[in-house]
Amino acid sequence: MNLTDYNQIRDLLAHHGFRFSKSMGQNFLTAAWIPEKIAESAGLDDQTAVLEIGPGIGCLTVELSRRAGKVLSVELDRSLMPVLAETLAGCENTEILFADVLKTDLEKIVQEDFASYRPVVCANLPYNVTSPVLTKLVTSRLFETVTVMIQREVARRICAGPGEKDYSAFGILLQWYTKPEILFDVPPSCFLPQPKVTSSVIRLCRRAEPPAQVRDEKLFFDLVRAAFNQRRKTLVNALSSAFPRIEKGMLEEAVVSCGFDSRIRGEALSIADFARLSDQIGKY
Ligand code: SAM
C-alpha cells in the first residue's frame, strides 16, 4: 500500500471511520519523496533507535523502520490504532505507544527501550505543540539529533542570529542546546488536509557544550526572555521592568561595562554577549 497516495489515504481512513482533528495538528503527507527525504536526513542505521512523534497513518514510520535498528512512535490519537495496526503490520522493529508526548517519560524510554542504541528523534511534528515538544526534546539532552518538520516561520526563528528579524528567545534556547540547520521546505500542497503555511525540515544536533560559559544559567535565560519580551524597548528599559530589584542605573552600568551602547536593543546581542551581560548582572 502507498501511504502517501491521496486516494489510498482517503479509502483507508474512510474504511476505519477516521476523522481529522485540527486540534491534534493532523496534516498527513501526500508525496512519497518527503518521508523518504526526512528519514534519509536523520542519518539512521541499525545502531540507531528513533523516537517518532505523531505517526499519523505511518508513512514516515515505515521509512524509519526500514533504516533504523528500532522505532518507537508516540501517537496521541487512539482512533489511529486500527489504522496503524494495518499499515505497520510488516514493521517488526517498530512499536507504537498511544500517549501524549508531552506527558511521556522520555528518559525512561531512552534508558530502557533504547539501551545500547544511538537515540535520535525524527518526526513530522503536530504544529500546535511544536514549541513545547521541541523544548522538551532539546532540554532533556537525551537525543543526538532531532530531525523534524515544523512550520517554516518557526524554523526561521530557531535558526536566526543577532540583528535578524526572526531572532528570538526561543531560538537562543534551542541554540544553547543544539546546532540547528534548515534542510528543505515543503509546500502546503503536499499535505491532507492542506495547512495554510509552508513547512521546513530542520535538524538539531546536540552540542557537547553550550556555545558560551555562564555562571548562572537561569539568570542567563531570564535575561534573554526579558530582552525579547519587550524587543522594541532599549535593553536597559526592558531589563529594568523585568528586574525591578536592580536599580536602572546599575543595569545601564552593566550594559556599558560589557562594551555596549547604553541605548542598544537586546536583539543586537549574540549568545556570547548575553552570557557576558548575565555574568555582569549576576554580580549585583
Ligand atoms: N507522521 C504523519 C505524516 O507525516 O503524515 C502525521 C503527522 S501529523 C502533522 C501529526 C501527528 O501527531 C498526528 O498523527 C497527531 O495525531 C499526532 N499528535 C498530535 N499531538 C500529539 C501529542 N501531544 N503527542 C503525540 N502525538 C501527537
Q: Average of pLDDT values for 47-54?
A: 98
**pLDDT given for residue 231 in this prediction:** 85
Name the pLDDT band for 26 (thresholds 50, 70, 90).
very high
Q: Answer whether 100 contacts ligand 1 (Cβ < 6 A).
A: yes
> What are 170-179's pLDDT values in tens digits?
999 999 999 9
Q: Percent of the chain having pLDDT more than 90?
A: 97
Ligand 1, atom nearest to 3 Cα: 5
> What are 216-265's pLDDT values in tens digits?
999 999 999 999 998 889 999 999 999 999 999 999 999 999 999 999 99
Of 77, 128, 131, the one to substitute when testing ligand 1's pocket (max ligand atoms within 8 A of C-beta) is: 77
CB–CB of 248/185 below 8 Å? no
Distance CA 31, CA 15 (A): 21
Residue nearest to atom 21 of ligand 1 (CA): 76
Average per-residue pLDDT in the chain? 97
Distance CA 121, CA 53 (A): 8
CB–CB of 202/180 below 8 Å? yes
Per-residue cell: 243: 528586574
Handedness of CA 226, 230, 234, 236 (dihedral sign): negative
Of 76, 98, 128, 137, the one to substitute when testing ligand 1's pocket (max ligand atoms within 8 A of C-beta) is: 76
Per-residue cell: 113: 527501550
Distance CA 194, CA 121 (A): 24
For helices 217-229 and 235-242, the axis angle rounded to 10 degrees is 120
Give this prediction's pTM. Answer: 0.97
In angstroms, the first-to-last Cα distance of the chain is: 65
Q: Answer whether 91 contacts ligand 1 (Cβ < 6 A).
A: no
| Residue carrying C-alpha cell 513530522 | 124
Residue 74: φ, ψ to 5°: -105, 120
Of 75, 133, 200, the one to substitute when testing ligand 1's pocket (max ligand atoms within 8 A of C-beta) is: 75
Residue nearest to atom 23 of ligand 1 (CA): 100
For helices 217-229 and 271-281, the axis angle rounded to 10 degrees is 110
- List the alpha helices (DSSP H) in the chain: 6-15, 33-41, 59-67, 81-87, 106-108, 130-139, 152-159, 169-177, 217-229, 235-242, 248-257, 271-281
Find how far residue 28's CA is from the centre of its chain: 18
Q: How far is the CA of 53 from the centre of ligand 1 (A)?
A: 6
Of 5, 28, 57, 191, the one to substitute when testing ligand 1's pocket (max ligand atoms within 8 A of C-beta) is: 28
Ligand 1, atom nearest to 123 Cα: 1
CA dihedral 84, 89, 95, 99 (to 10 degrees): 20
Q: How far is the CA of 42 from the centre of ligand 1 (A)?
A: 18
> What are 55-93's pLDDT values in tens digits?
999 999 999 999 999 999 999 999 999 999 999 999 999
Q: Answer whether 58 contacts ligand 1 (Cβ < 6 A).
A: no
Strand partners, 50: 71, 120
Q: Answer whether 171 contacts ligand 1 (Cβ < 6 A).
A: no
Region at 199 (left for phi over 0; alpha for psi -120 to 50; beta for the rest): beta
